[in-house]
Every structure is written in C-alpha cells, then in structure tokens.
Amino acid sequence: MSYLTFVLKERRLLSFGLSFTFFSSFGQTFLISLFVPYFLQEFQLSNAGFGSLYSAATLTSAAVLPWLGKWIDHIPLRLYSTCVAVGLVIASFMVAISWHVGLLFVGLLLLRLAGQGLSSHTAQTAMAKFYDHQRGKALSISNLGYPIGEAILPLGVTALLTVFHWRMTWATILLIIACIMIPFIHIILRKEEGELEEDNQTVSQNSDADYSYMRILSDYRFYFLFPAVLLPPFWATGFFLYQVSVAESLGWTATLIASAFVMFAVARILSSLGVGPLIDLFKARTIFPYYMLPMAAGFVFAFYHPGSWSAFVYMALLGATMGMGGAIKSALWAELYGTKTVGTVRSMFSALMVFSSALSPFMMGWLIDNGTPMTTILFWAVVTTLVGTLLAMCAFSSRVRLFFSRLNR
C-alpha cells in the first residue's frame, strides 16, 4: 500500500498519533530549554543546580512510567489518552504558578512524565498495536509530530516570551492543551472507539501468556540493545538543554544553532518517512543496529567544526538518527515481544530512555561548569555511539545466539 493510500484510509487514527507526538513537545527538552535562563534567574540556580533538579524530575518520571504505561494495554485508548492530556494541563499549571523551587520540580516532573513519557508512549504504542503489515508507515507518520513541534513551537514560544512573562506563556500553553488537544482526542477517537476497545479487551484476556518485565530482563538481547536505545536521548538531551553553551564553545552563535534546528526538523521528517517502508520491507531488527551512525557522524562534524556550515550538518545528522529511531524502536518491540502487550514492553524501554535523558543534564551541567572542553565531550559521544552500534549488531548475531543457547543448557 502506498503512503498516500494508507494515509487517506487511516487518516483519523494516524492524526491521533501525530497529534500526541506533537503535544509531547511541551515536555521535551528542546522546548523546556527555552525557559532555562528564566528559571536560573527566578530561582537563583546554577547550571549544575538546575541540571540536578531536571535530572531528579526526569528520574522520578522514569520510575513511574512503567506502571502508568502498561495501562494502555488494559483500558480504552480514548480514556487513557484523555488522562495523559489532563496530566499535561496540570503540569503546565504547576509551572505557571511555581513560586518556590519545590513547585517547579513538581511541574517539571509532570511535564516530563505526561509530555516526554506518556504522550510519546501513547502515540507509538497505539500505532504499533493496531497496525501489523503497515506498522512502519504508521509509526513514521505519527512520528512526524516530533519535527513539526520542533520546527513550530520554539518560534511560537520565543514570540510569546517577547510579549508575555514566562509564567503567562505557560498559562497560554495550558489553554492550548485544554482547548485543542482534549476535544480533539474525543472527536478523533469517537468513530474508532468500539474497535479499539474490543482490541484492548482481547489484550487483557491474553496478558498472562505474554511477556512480563522479568521475562524481558532474562532475554540476553535486552542487554545488547539497551545502550543503542539509551544513547541518542542521552546525548540529544544534554546537547539541546545546553545548546547556547555548546554553540559558544564551538565558535557558533546562539542564533546560528537556533537556525540549524530547521535542518534538524527537516532531516527528522525525511528520515522518519523514509524508514517506514524499509521497516515494512526488511523488518526493524535488520535496520536497528545502524540507526545511530548518522548521529556519530554529526558529532564528528561538530568536533572539527571548520565553519558555520558544520552546525547545519551536525543538526541534520542528529535529526536523521532521531527520526529513524522513533519508528524503528517501537516496531522492534512489537517484532521481538509481540503486539498484545506492546504497551507494557514499550513502557519499560521508555522508562530506560527517560532515565538516560535524566542523567545527561546533570553530567553536562557539571562538565560545563568545571570547564571541560566541548571537544572532549564530543569525542566520548562518538566513542559511546560506536560501541552501542557494535553491541546492537551482536544482539542479532547467530554466533551470539548460539553462545547463549549453549550457556542456558
């Protein structure tokens, strides 16, 4: 089935997935980073201090995510997605009224949980669960919400910040979610509710026969795959949260790196669309080990940074990896562990990804505050990415599989 035919036939459910990845932007690092200077000034925090606060909020959300994420396998999608949207509304409200750093922490925690965690989880789990032969295309379409948000929302938020106080900007975000996102969920899922609810009931009846967390942890492939799962969000979160410091260290201006985000969004869109048919044709397990290589190449360009043009190459290559990764990883869990409890499985891996993104702000903030050269950080980013690629290749190696089968006898 061609892309156009597929989109026209499944436009309602695909629109649902795309909208949730778009609204997940309000809990993503790239948007929260726009408010960091205001947070530092308002609450008298250092880079390392805010990084610790942000990491703690993200770690807490990662701890809660597996428990909340599994419920998408057991309750109607319409109810589940509405609860996630309400969580985003509450999160925006908490940030807007935060008069103490403790309230800011609660707001950041809810943003990371409902935004980065559950909004993304809802979209990608729905696509992986309700599509089989066209799963790659469905995930690619729904993942377009990420680059669309990255292309539109920073400009919109920056414009609001030039007119309104940062608290009023969050109040505006609250109104957008409450007045657009929640009504849209009820409208778009009304027609499909019966079919989706029936599917969820079937999942609940068969859940005892499917993978549990312990069975996943006993799978040797898990340990070979999780570095490749963790590294892109780890490095992207750190470099994006402190993008101004990164730009200054590499001889780029803040305006230049902000402009380069356009290339990031374009590359993410093209790679996301391009990888969907490849997943349907070759399977995600074939492509997964190599999806981090563009990011590694981007770090190499940033390391040498011969001129301003390298900022655009760096962001484009990062965008390529992030665009492919969203679709490949969600499809991979469905291939490896089945679709009946894909929400449970994916919530576990999502928690690990959130955990990795929680460590990055603290580490990057500490390194920057202590004068570590950005080229040193980039060097280790390249090394770890290549090691993660090699380990992912081993996960599907017949020799490794034979070794572990003999080991378990």
Ramachandran area for residue 371 (φ above 0: left; ψ -120 to 50: alpha; else beta): left
Whole-structure pTM value: 0.76
Q: What is the pLDDT of residues 369-399, one digit of tens each?
A: 888 888 899 999 999 999 999 999 999 888 8
- What is the pLDDT averaged over residues 395-408? 81
Q: What percent of the chain has pLDDT over 70?
A: 93
Q: Cβ contacts of residue 69 below 8 Å, gap of 6+?
A: 117, 118, 121, 125, 343, 344, 346, 347, 348, 350, 351
Residue with tokens 């030039």: 162
H helix or E strand, kind and range, residue 159: helix 145-163
8 A C-beta contact, residue 29 and residue 319? no
Beta-strand (E) ranges in 255-408? none
The alpha carbon dihedral of 350, 55, 61, 99 has a sign of negative
Q: What is the pLDDT of residues 211-264, one digit of tens each?
A: 566 777 788 888 899 899 989 988 988 888 788 788 888 888 877 887 888 888
81-90, 196-205, 232-241, 356-365: segment of lowest average pLDDT: 196-205
- The Cβ of residue 315 has, within 10 Å, a number of other Cβ atoms equal to 27
**What pLDDT shows up at residue 210?**
45
Q: What is the pLDDT of residue 69?
A: 86
* Cα 27 from Cα 149, distance rounded (Å): 11
Contact (CB, 8 A) for 142 and 17: yes
The token pair that represents 193 in the structure block: 């509710």
Please give the angle made by the CA atoms of 86, 333 and 387, to the nearest 5 degrees. 110
At residue 407, does pLDDT exceed 80? Answer: no
pLDDT of 208 over the 50 cut: no
H or E element: which one contains 336? helix 309-337
Q: Is the pLDDT of residue 72 over 50?
A: yes
pLDDT in tens, 261-317: 888 888 988 998 899 889 988 888 999 999 999 999 999 988 887 678 888 999 999
Choose the weakest-confidence range: 16-20, 106-110, 318-322, 337-341: 337-341
Which of 91-105, 158-172, 345-359, 366-380 bottoms out in mean pLDDT, i.e. has the lowest?
345-359
Average of per-residue pLDDT values in the chain: 85
Average pLDDT over residues 77-93: 93
pLDDT > 90 fraction of the chain, expressed in percent and rounded: 33
Which is more confidently placed, 23 or 255?
A: 23
How crowded is residue 381: how many other Cβ atoms within 10 Å of its Cβ?
22
Residue written as token pair 């963790």: 230
Give start and end residues of each alpha helix (H) in 164-292: 166-176, 182-188, 193-206, 213-217, 220-241, 243-249, 254-282, 284-287
- Spatial contact of 34 and 338, defined as CB atoms under 8 Å apart: no
Q: Which residue has the higher pLDDT, 194 or 30?
A: 30
